[in-house]
């Protein structure tokens, strides 16, 4: 079983988020007080295209193991730096199928909707980081490593140290796609 190493939020639209002692997840909305909370899209580029689209990016989760992978390439990344709300350890987030439910702490539940599609803002944070969060598999298919996005199914407070329990959907499993 994995666990949460950090939780983060930020009221304004900024790339990085501020670490907190706890965050409150609200069903159908996201992280209480976070700029990306809402039933419809909140990412500025998506709002410009169509503000009525459902928000499939309410909570961003990122695996802490990525920071260790990036360190030898001289990238210094800490929890919240890449805009994630929940930093985890011991959960293969990128290998989960679409629709996986993650039980966070005592009562919060999120459903994984897809992969975070890294954008140019990552390079504004640290030059070359966008390329470092992308890879190719043996068949040449693009691998996105910048975490997963989710929607909140059940309210709850989430803190560092809380367990993450994975509940896979019934098959057939669909691989994660960018959202």
Q: pLDDT digit string (tens) for 17-53? A: 999 999 999 999 999 999 999 999 987 788 888 989 9
Q: What is the pLDDT of residues 105-151, one digit of tens each?
A: 999 999 999 999 877 889 899 999 999 999 999 999 999 999 999 99
Whether pLDDT at 100 is above 90: yes
User: pTM of this prediction?
Assistant: 0.96
Q: Does the residue 178 lie in any domain?
A: no
Q: Does the residue 172 lie in any domain?
A: no
pLDDT at site 105? 97
Rounded to the nearest integer, the mean pLDDT of the chain is 95
pLDDT at site 163? 98
Q: Does the residue 176 lie in any domain?
A: no
Q: How wide is the angle at C-alpha 176 spanned by C-alphas 152 and 137, nearest 5°?
A: 145
Q: Does the residue 74 lie in any domain?
A: yes
Report how many domains make up the chain: 1
Residue 76 — very low, low, confident or very high, per pLDDT cuts 50/70/90? very high
Domain residues for the domain of 76 are 2-167
Q: Does the residue 179 lie in any domain?
A: no
Whether pLDDT at 166 is above 90: yes
pLDDT at site 47? 82
Q: List the CATH number of the domain containing 159.
A: 2.40.33.20
Q: Does the residue 27 lie in any domain?
A: yes
């Amino acid at each position: 079983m994995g666990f949460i190493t950090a939780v983060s939020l930020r009221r304004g639209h900024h790339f990085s988020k501020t670490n907190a002692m706890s965050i409150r997840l609200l069903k159908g909305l996201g992280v209480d007080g976070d700029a990306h909370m809402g039933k419809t899209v909140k990412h500025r580029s998506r709002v410009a295209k169509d503000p009525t689209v459902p928000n499939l990016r309410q909570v961003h989760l990122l695996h802490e193991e990525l920071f260790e992978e990036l360190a030898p390439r001289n990238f210094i990344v800490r929890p919240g730096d890449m805009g994630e709300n929940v930093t985890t350890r011991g959960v293969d987030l990128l290998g989960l199928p679409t629709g996986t439910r993650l039980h966070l702490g005592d009562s919060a539940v999120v459903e994984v909707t897809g992969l975070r599609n890294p954008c140019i803002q990552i390079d504004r944070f640290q030059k070359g980081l966008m390329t470092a969060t992308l890879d190719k598999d043996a068949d040449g298919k693009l691998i996105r490593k910048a975490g997963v996005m989710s929607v909140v199914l059940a309210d709850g407070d989430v803190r560092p140290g809380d367990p993450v329990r994975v509940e896979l959907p019934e098959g057939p499993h669909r691989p994660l796609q960018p959202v």
